[in-house]
């Protein structure tokens, strides 16, 4: 079964299910309670770093590790709004304020996260926020992918030019 670990949360996203580590599930064990659905918000509950991610369709069905808490919003709160709040300085401070003192750093419980006071604007405003958050995330991903392609192309051109320079520098054989 694909498992989402803390290290998989990066830039507010989780990799597609096929890039997650697969773990065997013991016979008779039901992982349903820990399976994520598209739109769920995931936060770290233990460790040294507070991370927040939103589950995309590509990660639907994966299982959360014990260091993560999954949050499924209801009809009164859209997931992108919760995601935006938890990533904001105010949301981060609220989460850290709920953390129990620990030598390891972060120590959140589902109960303490459930008691978090989240601003819930009218649904129409939430839809605008959600649209803005989705567009910003999509543009961010597109920009990163474009930068990675330019970087790879630049390296390929440099390597091609270096090979040409090396070939022209070699002495001719007689």
105-150 tens-digit pLDDT: 788 988 989 899 999 999 999 999 999 999 998 999 899 999 999 9
Q: Ramachandran region of residue 164, left (φ > 0), alpha (ψ -120 to 50) or beta?
A: alpha
In this predicted structure, what is the pLDDT of residue 166? 62
In the predicted model, is pLDDT for residue 174 greater than 70? no
* More reliable by pLDDT, 170 or 42: 42
* More reliable by pLDDT, 22 or 146: 146
The 3-class SS string of 61-106 reads CCEECCCEEEECCCCCCCHHHHHHHHHCHHHHHHHHHHCCCCCCCE
In this predicted structure, what is the pLDDT of residue 170? 60
In this predicted structure, what is the pLDDT of residue 169? 63
In this predicted structure, what is the pLDDT of residue 86? 95
CA distance readout (Å), 7 to 12, 17, 94, 166: 12, 14, 23, 41
In this predicted structure, what is the pLDDT of residue 150? 97
* More reliable by pLDDT, 16 or 99: 16
């Amino acid at each position: 079964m694909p498992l989402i670990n803390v290290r998989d949360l990066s830039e507010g996203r989780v990799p597609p299910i096929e890039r997650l580590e697969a773990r065997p599930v013991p016979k008779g064990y039901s992982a349903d309670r820990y399976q994520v659905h598209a739109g769920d918000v995931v936060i770290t509950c233990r460790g040294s770093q507070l991370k927040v991610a939103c589950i995309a369709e590509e990660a639907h069905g994966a299982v959360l590790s014990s260091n993560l808490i999954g949050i499924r919003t209801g009809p009164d709160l859209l997931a992108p709004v919760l995601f935006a709040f938890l990533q904001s300085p105010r949301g981060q401070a609220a989460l850290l304020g709920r953390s129990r003192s620990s030598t390891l750093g972060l120590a959140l419980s589902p109960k303490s996260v459930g008691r978090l006071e989240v601003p819930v604007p009218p649904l129409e405003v939430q839809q605008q926020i959600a649209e803005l958050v989705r567009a910003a995330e999509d543009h961010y991903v597109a920009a990163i992918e474009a930068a990675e392609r330019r970087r790879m192309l630049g390296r390929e051109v440099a390597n091609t030019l270096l090979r040409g320079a090396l070939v022209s520098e070699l002495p001719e054989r007689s």
